[in-house]
Amino acid sequence: MNIDNIKRVYLIGVGGIGMSGLARYFHKLGYLVAGYDKTETDLTKQLEEEGMSIIYQDEVGLIPEEFYPVDAGTLIIYTPAIPKELTLKKFFAEAGQELYKRSQVLGFISASRFTIAVAGTHGKTTTSTMIAHVLKHSGYDCSAFLGGISTNYNSNVLFGDNNTVVVEADEYDRSFLTLHPNIAIVTSADADHLDIYGDESHVVESFSLFLDRLVDGGTRIVKVGLPFESELKYSGSGIGDVYAENIHVKEGEFYFDYVHANGRINAIHLGIPGIHNVENAVAAITVARLLEIEDAAIIAALSAFKGVKRRFEYIVKKPEAIYIDDYAHHPEELRAFLSSMRKLYPERQLTVVFQPHLYTRTRDFVAGFAEVLAMADELLLMEIYPARELPLEGITSSWLAEKVKLKNKRVLTPQEVLDVISSEKPELVVTVGAGDIDRLVKPLKEIMNAR
């Protein structure tokens, strides 16, 4: 595929965070961009406001006439999450058009650019966004394809004037094996997506194959404890080639020192909270130093970093009421998030609203979820978000709740969650999950701000 020969781009499943990033990228470059998604969201509305034609019915007749006839100047991109029997997908295939996954297109882009790719079963979105921000803020510059909405830039795609691109490398469906990284980072490789991989050994194997994609002369940066060869090992716990130490909280803000082979950078202020985010920052600093960005510029950038939407995002922050929203949906993500909550607010009663994501993930990691959710003082469980799956007999939120060793726990509907928060007025609330739990953010914000 020669991207330079393309005139029109159609994205099937355009509302996804990764797909919408590609839509914005090609639109910015001046291509005619249109797409389909089954549900209208704030993100698809934004794409329409930016000038892209989006449809929500699986009807060929709604495709813009500029896409007829389908020819070599048309690029069709689809997400594996769409149904195989989708009419639009069949139409383009039967017209003789080759359809490309998002990951393949990212591979085409990365092949001609200096690529910094961040992989990991968790931590990759914040780390890649942090790296892109440091490069932007420092003046080094880059383009970036991110798996979340950067709060600093209010977008999931950034545009730069140089040849450097930062890519969040997605392990789902082995998508990241299309990339050509010059710098490859692995933040974690926990068992996940077992519906795809089968077991943890195949997850690890896939990450190893990703690191093998490194171009000649490239650098691998891998978290301490992961079973991969690398040029640099990093951690947030005082071990490795580069690491953080002297981590402390002052007036609700995180500070730490960065240690490397030739010295250290002291008293770094991180603009977002979380012990796990200090570790993510170590990886970002390591990349910046490889690119010879000055320490002072790195310090300034990290202090100004505002994070990613739905990653430790403060929604309400008042003396009498704090509400934080996070995307965590794997036991280890939850452990990192809740541990940071405990460090930040050790004296407050913690109310956790959690929506499990996928029946298979809930089944496969039920012991881990049960252990970590017991870190709450009060647990409000919502029903499992199915995403692409059909229900599995016996796998429910009530089944999970029974295994959580916690006195104060309930399984509630979204409306019941709002009613409980409104009537009981908890002082510290978090919503966590990767499904549609984010629909509660706006009403919960109104309830807690009304106190």
The DSSP secondary structure of 68-98, one letter per residue, reads -S--TTEEEEE-TTS-TT-HHHHHHHHTT--
How many angstroms separate the CA atoms of 404 and 330, rounded?
A: 15
Per-residue model confidence as pLDDT tens digits over 28-55: 989 999 999 988 988 999 999 999 999 9
Structural tokens at position 286: 């390591």
**Residues 411 and 397: beta-carbon distance below 8 Å:** yes
Question: β-pairing, 428-432 with 242-250?
Answer: unpaired
**Residues 41 and 15: beta-carbon distance below 8 Å:** yes
Alpha-carbon torsion (151, 157, 162, 167), positive or negative: positive
How many angstroms separate the CA atoms of 358 and 29, rounded?
A: 36
**Residues 330 and 122: beta-carbon distance below 8 Å:** yes
**Residues 278 and 256: beta-carbon distance below 8 Å:** yes
- The sheet with strand 8-12 has its strands ordered as 53-55, 32-36, 8-12, 74-78, 99-101
Residues of the chain with pLDDT under 50: none
Provide φ and ψ at 219, rounded to 5°: -130, 130
Listed in sequence order, the DSSP H helices in 11-123 are 17-28, 42-49, 87-94, 102-111
How many angstroms separate the CA atoms of 207 and 259, rounded?
A: 26
Q: What's residue 39's pLDDT?
A: 87
Position of tokens 């990339």? Answer: 179
How many angstroms separate the CA atoms of 176 and 168, rounded?
A: 9
Q: What's residue 54's pLDDT?
A: 97
CA angle 80, 188, 282 (to 5 degrees): 125
Q: What's residue 75's pLDDT?
A: 93
**Residues 258 and 282: beta-carbon distance below 8 Å:** yes
Position of tokens 């490397």? Answer: 260
What amino acid occupies position 140? Y
284-321 per-residue burial string, b: 16 or more CB within 10 A, e: under 16: bbbbbbebebebebbbebbeebbbbbbbbbebbeeeeb
3-state class of 298 per DSSP? Answer: helix
**Residues 131 and 118: beta-carbon distance below 8 Å:** yes
For the chain, which domains are there? 3-100 (3.40.50.720), 113-304 (3.40.1190.10), 313-449 (3.90.190.20)
**Residues 229 and 220: beta-carbon distance below 8 Å:** yes
Q: What's residue 195's pLDDT?
A: 60
